Amino acid sequence: MCGIVGYIGEKQAVPILMKGLAKLEYRGYDSAGIAVISDREIAIHKTTGKLENLARKIKGMTIPGTIGIGHTRWATHGGVTDLNAHPHASCKRDLVVIHNGIIENYQELKEDLLAKGHVFQSETDTEVIAHLIEQEFDTLPTLSTGNPLTEAVRRALSQVEGGYAIVVLHRNRPDTIVAARMHNPLIIGLGKGENLVASDIPALLDYTKVVCDLENGQMAEISKNSVRISNLQGKEQPLVTRTITWDVAQAEKGGYPHFLIKEIHETPAVLRDVLRNKIRRGSINPQPLGLEGLDLRKINKITLLGCGSAAYACLYGKYLLEKWTRITTEVQVGSEFRYHQPIIDGSTLVIALSQSGETADTLASIELAKKAKPMRTIGVINAIGSSMTRQVDQVCLLQAGPEISVASTKAFSSMIVSLALMALHIGKVRGVQTDDSFLSEINRLPELTSKVLEQEHEIARIATYYIHHQDAYYIGRDVNYPSALEGSQKLKELSYIHAEAYPAGELKHGPNAVIYDHFPIICLVPEGHVYKKMISNIQEMKARKASILSFATEGDTRIAAHSDHVVFLPRTSEEISVMVNTLAMQLFAYYVTLYKGYSIDQPRSLQKYFPKPGEITAPPKSIDIDKPRNLAKSVTVE
């Protein structure tokens, strides 16, 4: 999730751009840059690293100008280098572009532009947009009405496939900023004698609270005194505004009380981006999965590596890979991998998962695996430029954007979707998986996960019944056993409840012994081939007077008779049900924690008031759910 800021008005642009970018630092980034129209020339300054590096670079410089753009980059195409940092210029440096998103057909566009004589300075997809606009601007017929820069941007975007939020300056149009949006957020701030544009509201709040949210397929032609909205076909559209009532701290969280719940709500948008990149024209694209150029028929074993939630994603991946490819697949916890003698050879595909790309145990495991010369190592990673991206042979980007909260939510969802796409693609190439219904379901995940979020109030209400317990079990069968593991992980790391997960059939082998009256058992019971067995397991727990919370399929008329509480989730196959169960369990863990009243920045600091079961109250104000005690995003090996 890159940060975007633009300004046009009477004030000097550089301080406003730098301040705005600082307000967006919470989004995470690896480089930063600004561009200002100064004396009919465009001054560009950019560098890798934190914003303070850019501040040092421009300190003492005179960069006059009342129109400019700024950007913090979260790398997706090309490494973390000064040349790959934004803004990007055209050949003649007449125009500059900043961009958030992914241009899916950038390679084809780049080849065409190279053939026409354009010279590229970076490895990014964004630079293609700058050259496309330049091409259109230079060949545009003289317009009797309208702004030629706006028309050139419109024509360039008609050739682009993918998602974007872009902001464009041209040195010959020092009175205009052009912005456009498709799938990635872009917001215009309306001031007096000045206007701004940004990727998120915090960058705007020091100057205005009146904003216009650009919709998909909309463009904005921005001057210091006006904003004109049109669609990609050139039809003018109304300027719809709203007034922000949040303070700056709330705005960083998008109006949510915590980053954790904000990131849970970002899941549908994240999955939309993932699918847009990894599925093209109805088929799985092997390139962004790290599978391109690999003879998938020669794989005889797959080894999955991960720690924490990533290890549970690996276990889910194992189930799907063995079902859909019939390849022997093993899961190895990164912290244990080095302590036995792993069997890896030239026919083994090694896939390592890490949100941060810096998990020390996983990095050590990859290093050990590579000594055995596997067929390929693939890193499923959120943070490009991290150590793991340099260590593996190929990278599959999660595209989840930065996760500020320690507990992984949207990145975990991206992990399991990416593994499912890998399994489907390998299975299809090997002639094992011929059922297209799974891909159709995966394509619907943004819609399905949005439906889960509609259940938030009911999940919050149910959570109040479980806040006084010290223990809990999560149970599931088949692919929902890994899902149960992840659910229990979320509950324990956030709420400090001692939660364990078991395959449902294993409760009779010991865990039953500690069940007491009203012991909470969270059951994953989607309709499918293990449904009847799950009902039998639930009946065993009810016989011991346990309290049953079931996550079940909408339309299931039988489950309520066996449960104390039920959350009904969208109908899917069992294999895909994990992706909706996961989101529901994240919401459950969040609200249990919220109503237990823990201040997570101050361990075991309790609120005096607890809601009554079934009662929804205003959340305690001192809670910081985003930073559980004793946890970190990347854990250093001992």
- Where in the sequence numbering do the catalytic residues fall? 2, 608
Other C-beta atoms closer than 10 Å to the C-beta of 153 total: 28
Q: Are 410 and 381 in contact (CB under 8 A)?
A: no
Angle at 552 between CA 550 and CA 553, to 5 degrees: 170
- Between the two ends of the chain, the Cα-to-Cα distance in Å is 32
Tokens of 345: 């050879």
Strands 376-381 and 394-397: parallel
Alpha helices in 117-182 (DSSP H): 126-139, 148-157
Contacts of 22 (CB under 8 A, 6+ apart): 51
Contacts of 250 (CB under 8 A, 6+ apart): 256, 257
Q: What number of H helices and E strands is found in the chain? A: 20, 27
Amino acid making up residue 309 = S
> 3-class DSSP state for residue 36?
strand
The DSSP result for 396-457, as a single string, is: EE-------SSS-SHHHHHHHHHHHHHHHHHHHHTT----THHHHHHHTHHHHHHHHHTTHH
Cα Rg of the chain, angstroms: 26
Which residues make beta-bridge pairs with 222?
177, 227
- State phi, psi for 549 to the nearest 5 degrees: -110, 120
b/e sequence 60-88, b meaning 16+ C-beta within 10 Å: eeebebbbbbbbbbbbbbbbbbebbbbbb
Which of the 8 DSSP states describes residue 126? H
Tokens of 187: 């917001």
In sequence order, what E strands does 191-347 have? 195-198, 210-213, 218-222, 227-231, 236-237, 242-243, 279-280, 283-284, 301-306, 328-333
Tokens of 221: 């032609």
